[in-house]
Each structure stands twice: as structure tokens, then as C-alpha cells.
A and B are shown apart, each in its own frame.
Chain A
């Protein structure tokens, strides 16, 4: 008699294993195949085309009734195994027992359902099998139906795209900062998101679900933890899978995350094998079919007592959404021992990144043009040495074999008709003619031909044309790029952020052709400022792109402690405030209390973990953060003015306080300090500040762009105003102009030196409409950013964030 083989699970892995088995030895076993689904093996990965309507179920069946019959396989579909009795070697179903000599477990995995309130409502679906797919298709036939998909990974996005194609209004809710974070880096995630949004799919990243809403037992919406509610008729949860190990575990087989198997796919019981997503091999579990097919082959061989061993290998991923070209393989994390080659073509929306280690390709991410994906994947699996083709590798196989590209030679070889500037349609001939007529600098070429004057990405090319044409005579411009991540200057980047409406860091890095995947400590703080200054409503501040002081809202000291400076509006304080400061100093054992040069008090040497608590105490006494750490408004110093001084002409103290109240909390390219003196004796030192006001009998003289730090410079007159309100308008408009135009880390005096006082006066003083618009934009931004960071951190979560993650010293003491 033939030995009996029982197979649990009619999925992709077992289907492939059976094929190998019957092909190699049709009569080796008496086979019975059990499946919980009421149907035989089909190609699960093609459910997405079924969902989108591009394929039918019939087209994705891999093994039909004829095939099972022809190969003598008894099928028991819709009959789930409920137990394995290893002692008696039988499997149990509702219909009875079936004996085995060899057992193959291929139970796949279960979709993970986040146990949110409401997860058991009708209409909450997972995406795993044909029934799920059919339920989604049915829901999409209701006119105006809405769907929410939780999970912006492979499955969630395929579900979202399919439902959108079926006419549903779809929103994807993703916990992480960018889509498909396990397969894609941020840059590619950005492009993918842009594409999906273009298809009318709403995409919310960094969004945390808090509750599924329902009525009459059916889902009606999803609430996020920020309170947003998204109405929906179905909610698809695609947040990951868990190996289906319950059966094996109950039978006493060794399991971890999956069923433990050795290289031969044998479990801890030598009569039992396992393959597919339910297994764990050498610490790894699986979620893509390529390795499962390898396992299937090995399992078939093992069953036939042939030698074979399963080896894990690199896998590659593609998203099966028609029209989206995306490829990812291997390990694309950054690292010291790795080298990145990045290629971006902003105009075509193409991004490619290769990761090399020891001159070998170990990872690749591509978006927009994935034609070379399989070639790179091959190189990766070969582990071939890339030194020879390093220079041209990223251009793909078509460019290999020739000599390394010398950009200069390549530019020299371009014909006159070759287009250099795509935006303005300027060809090389036009540029060389302009050069011959005397345009010998980049600016001159720009002025006469417009080349590189729009998006600026061809600047490098234009410079090369200049260099090739002029030879030795060409002096490259001294404009300094932001940092090594880009060739663009701060000014270029600011202009592009506005002109191309770039509203996220990933958008800037993609569209401006950043050479690194996530920037560095030089460009990230600058970009963060530019984005929040230009798009206060759309851009979300990124604390991780801020320097330590701004991230912690306190100045770090040389020993790692921090200083705390409450605002003292215009330098005015009260006995109550002073008592609260003294109490806080006692309570938190503050080693130094100092009067600063900015007319307020500094508590120096506070431990980081104490910050939220001391802030909260000072908040209770009515004080807010003094932003002594911020590239933002610092202090407005005042003198005593008409209230007390015999020379005072205006209430300088009250005006200083009014300015500070209006402008505190605003972020600026560098810090901004102001002062108001009650008369030209200038006791508040207003004439060496970023903005200074001298009160006179007839009103207020506003001057700007002074300095008293590393440089000392007197302010320059901006304008004179008869009333406080008009003076404040001038100040606000000036600061907003500075916020919108200056390079990050330029104090106003440096910026004004570049643009000229006339240019500033024209926009702030002479043109009333421009002044009003500047003030409007400042106030808009204040609507979002004028918040006290101390009060915001009075929450238990913030207090936890400032404390150590864990304390292992306690653990050791136990």
C-alpha cells in the first residue's frame, strides 16, 4: 500500500509542492488535500486584479477539479482541520478523522486585526481571500459608497487602488510617515503618494486610528486619535499578517512566530513538514511567494527522500497597481559602510536608488522607471563586484560596456540642437551664441536666454556648456550650495519651494534632486523652516529636523542639562512671578539663577526629565516659554518711558509689551531681538537690535538690521509712524518679509545687506497693499504657531517623552 500524505491548506505553497511531487513521482503517495476555503488552489496574489476588475476569478484558478482528478488527489474543500493527533497519526475535521503517514502543514497566515473598539462590526473586512474580495466588490456597487483602508502597505494600497477603480471614494489611513515604509524609502514613498492622490485616493500618513464607529451593527466610520472622523461603508484592515500556527501549536509542535522547520522543511515531528507563510525558518517568516516556491520544491524532495535544502534569499517587491511602476529589493537602509547612488529626474517623476556595500549591490528602490529592476536584482543575487561599472551603474544595462562617462566630454559632444533647458526650450546652440556675444557668466546666460531661469535643475548643465565653451576663461560662480546633499543654493531652494508649491520635505528632496535619501543636519533644519514659513497650513513641523534646543524648547548646557527662561513681557515682572520663579528654583534644585542680557531671568542647569514639570509650575503662575532657544522672536527690551522717566516721550514699556504679545512664538530664519526706547537717549539699546524703536514726541522711529553680536552695526531707518498701530504694522511686515525671503541662519542685518534697504522699504513702507498682505500672512502663521510649547508639553505623554525610555539599573537591582 502507498503511504498516505495529508495536506492541510489548499494555498499557494501547498499547490506548488503538490505539483513538484506528482510530477516527480506520480504514484509515491496516496494524497488527501484539505482546505478551509470552499474552493481549490487559486493564485492569491492575483486577487488584486480581480478586485480592480482587470481579471475574473476563473482566470486565476491554478488547479481545477480535472487536475486533482488526473493526479489522483482526493480533495476535501470547505472541510477545515480542527486537530492533529500525532500519537495516532490522524487529522480531525468536523466530518471525522483521516489517518496519515506524512503530514504537510500549509495553513498560510491570518490577517492581523487591530483590536480597536468596533473591529467586529459588519463591514470591517480583511483582505486575504476570495470572500473578502467579493465583499469589497459588492460594497463598491452601492452608488456613492465610501471606503477607508487602514494600512498603507502593499495589500492596503492594492485594495485602495482596486476600490477606487470600482468608483469608490477611498481614504488610506497609514500609521507611519510614508507609504510602504518596509519596501520604500521616503523619497519613493512620496512619489507613490503623489500618484495615488492624483487618482483621487486620499492618503493620510502618520495617522493613528482610535475607534471604529458603527450604527445598527454596521460600520459607519473611523475616528482618528486627533478627532478626525472619516465616514465609510466598508473598512478594510490591511495592517499585516500573522503566521497561522494555532493548529500546530495545539498539536505540540515547536513554534515561535511561525512553525519551526529545518532546512528540509521538517518540523519538530519528523513525520510532519510545513511550508508557506505559516513557517519560521532560521528566525525568518515570509510574506511573498518567491521563497515559498523554493520551500515547496524542497518539501516535495524531502517527501521523496531526496536531498534538498531551503536557503533564504533576497526578495523583490512590485506593487500590482496598473500604471504604478515601483520596485524594491534587498536592504536599502543607509549606513556608514554603504554607498548610495541616487538618480532623480523630477520632470518625469523618476527616482532610483542603489545601495552598495564593499562594491556589491545589496539594495535597490525604484519609482517611475523600473525597467532595469530585474537586471539590478540579478546583480544583487550574483553578488558581483561593481567597481568596473560603478560610474554608470544607475543608468542600467544599456550604458554598460563603454568607457566611463565624462560629463564634460558628453556636453562637448552634444549637437547644437540638443535641448539644455527644458522649461524654456533653450538648446545648446542658443547658449553658445549668447556666450560668444559676451554672456560669460551663469547670470548673464540666464538674463539673455532664460536658460536655467525657471526650475533651475539644468543649472549644472548650463555651467558645463559655459565651461566647455570658454575653457580656462570661465570662472565658476561662488554661489554655495546648502550642503553636500544638493547643488542648489538656499535662495534656489526657497524659490522652488514657493514656485513649485513643494509642501513636504520629501517633495523638496525629490523635485530639487537631493543626492541623499533623507538629508543631513545642515539642510533639514533649513528646509523645515522654509516649509513651515511658506506653508503654515499645509506643512507639519518636524521636530526631528530641528536642532536640540528647539526640539527640547530649552538651551542645552555643556553638561547636557538645560536652561529655562520664562517670558517677561517687555522686561516687566511682578512679585508673584518672582516668587514662582524662586519656588521653582528651590523645588528643582536649580544651581544658577541669572539675570540675562535680555531683561529676564534664566534658570540654568535643569535636568531634562524635570523640564515638563518646571514648565508646568511656571505655567501655573501665568508664565510662558521665553523662546530663549529659538530661531524666533526672543526679547523686546524696553525702558521705563513716560510712566516714570522725566524724558520719556511715549509709553515705551507698553509698546514693547504690545509688540512682544503680537509676535511671540513666530519662527524666523535666525533669532530676532527688538527694543523700544522712550527717547533718543536710548536706554533700551534699540539701535543695535534686529528691530529697534525710538520714541519721539511726534511718534515712533522704526529702524532695522542692527547687530551687537559677532558684528556690531547700527540699525538703518525703516520708517516713521505717528501711532503705535502704524509702527507695529511696519514691524510685523518687516519681520514677515524677512521670514519669507531670508536664508536660514542669516540675521536680518545680513539679509538686508543682500537685498538692499530700498527693496525692503518698497515692500514694507511704500506699497501699502504689499504691507497689508505681509501682515495678513504673518497673522495666518501666528494662528498656528503662536502656542506655548510649555503648555503643550504638560501632558503625561510629553512627560514620558522627556524621561528615559527605560531604566535598567532598577532591573539589575532586583
Chain B
């Protein structure tokens, strides 16, 4: 079983919006869909590094604010004619709280 860590209240993320989470692995965008699901993706567009947390959320996808690439939440892959993917982490809502994979608190292995 995966371990989760509480990062805040669901209400603190706007519906069809996102908030940034600072982690040792870099900035993570935590999205909330119209259906109140949450997803955690690296906050960097595979195109030119646009902050995905600032994009427009529709369905289970976000449109990058810089040049409109569309990135799907479930596996972080770029939709349509463009190609690429962003890393994703497990995230869920429980009792109005947002939980993300505890792996996000770990320092990158200094390998």
C-alpha cells in the first residue's frame, strides 16, 4: 500500500484549477477537476517548461498557458498531435483533505 501525506483542504484549490506544491523534487501542480478529483503532475510543460498550474482545466486535462499544449492528468501524456509526457504522482481526496504520494517528501537519491 502506498503512503500519503496531507497537503491541505480540497477547498483551497479552485474547482477546475490548480495550486502549486513545493517539494524536494521540484514544483508539483495539484489540479482539481469539475468532479472534485485531484491529480498531481510536475508543474513543467514538456514543451518549453510552461507552468501547467496556470493553465485552463477542462475534463481531465489542462491546456498549458504558454502555447496551448494539452496534457492529460491520468498519465501525464501530451494529447493530440504534440508528443511528450510529464511525471505524475498519486493523489486523492479523503474527508475534504487532499493527500499526495509521500514519495514527494523524499529527497532525490543522490546517486
Contact = CB atoms under 8 A, between A and B. Distances in A.
Interface stretch (A222-230, A516-524, A655-663, A756-764): A516-524
A808 B23 contact: yes
B33 A804 contact: no
B110 to A, nearest CB: 13
A588 interface: no
Interface residues of B, number: 51
B20 interface: yes
Contact of B21 (A519, A520, A801, A806): A806
A556 B66 contact: yes
Interface string B66-98: 101010111101010000000000000001001
A516 B60 CA distance: 12
* A518, A525, A560, A806 interface centre (most CB from chain B within 10 Å): A806
A521 B58 contact: yes
Contacts of A812: 23-24, 105-107
B99 to A, nearest CB: 11
In this complex, the interface size class of chain A, counting residues with CB under 8 Å from chain B, is: 35 or more
B36 A336 contact: no
A806 B29 CA distance: 11
Interface stretch (A8-16, A76-84, A268-276, A327-335): A327-335
Contacts of A551: 54
A544 B15 contact: yes
A810 B57 CA distance: 29
A75 interface: no
A409 interface: no
A522 to B, nearest CB: 9
- Chain B CB count within 10 A is highest, among A332, A336, A551, A811, for A336
B31 to A, nearest CB: 11
B46 interface: no
A804 B22 CA distance: 7
A548 B74 contact: no
B82 to A, nearest CB: 14
Contacts of B56: 520-521, 524-525, 544-547
Contact of A556 (B5, B54, B57): B54
Nearest to B9: A805
Contacts of B57: 544
Contacts of B106: 812
Nearest to B1: A283
Contacts, number: 126
Contacts of A520: 56, 58-59, 63
Contacts of A332: 35
A22 to B, nearest CB: 38
A547 B35 contact: no
B24 A333 contact: no
A808 B22 contact: yes
A334 B21 contact: no
Contacts of B77: 336
B8 A548 contact: no
Nearest to B65: A548
Contact of A334 (B23, B55, B60, B68): B60
A808 B91 CA distance: 15
A746 interface: no
B7 A805 contact: yes
Contacts of B63: 520-521
A181 B36 CA distance: 9
B91 to A, nearest CB: 12
A470 to B, nearest CB: 34
Interface in A535-589: 543-548, 551-552, 556, 558-560
A783 interface: no
B20 to A, nearest CB: 4
Contacts of B65: 547-548, 556
A525 B107 CA distance: 39
A185 interface: yes
A337 B24 contact: no
Contacts of B37: 333
Given A544-B15, A558-B48, A257 B95 contact: yes
A809 B36 CA distance: 26
B22 A518 contact: no
B12 A805 contact: yes
A551 B18 CA distance: 12
Contacts of A545: 16, 56
17 contacts: A333-B60, A334-B33, A335-B59, A335-B73, A336-B73, A516-B59, A518-B16, A521-B63, A548-B65, A804-B19, A804-B21, A805-B7, A805-B12, A806-B21, A808-B5, A809-B24, A812-B24
Given A545-B16, A556-B51, A804-B21, 4 more contacts: A338-B60, A521-B63, A804-B20, A809-B23
6 cross-chain pairs, A with B, having the tightest CB-CB distances, nearest first: A334-B59, A336-B72, A805-B19, A548-B65, A521-B63, A521-B56
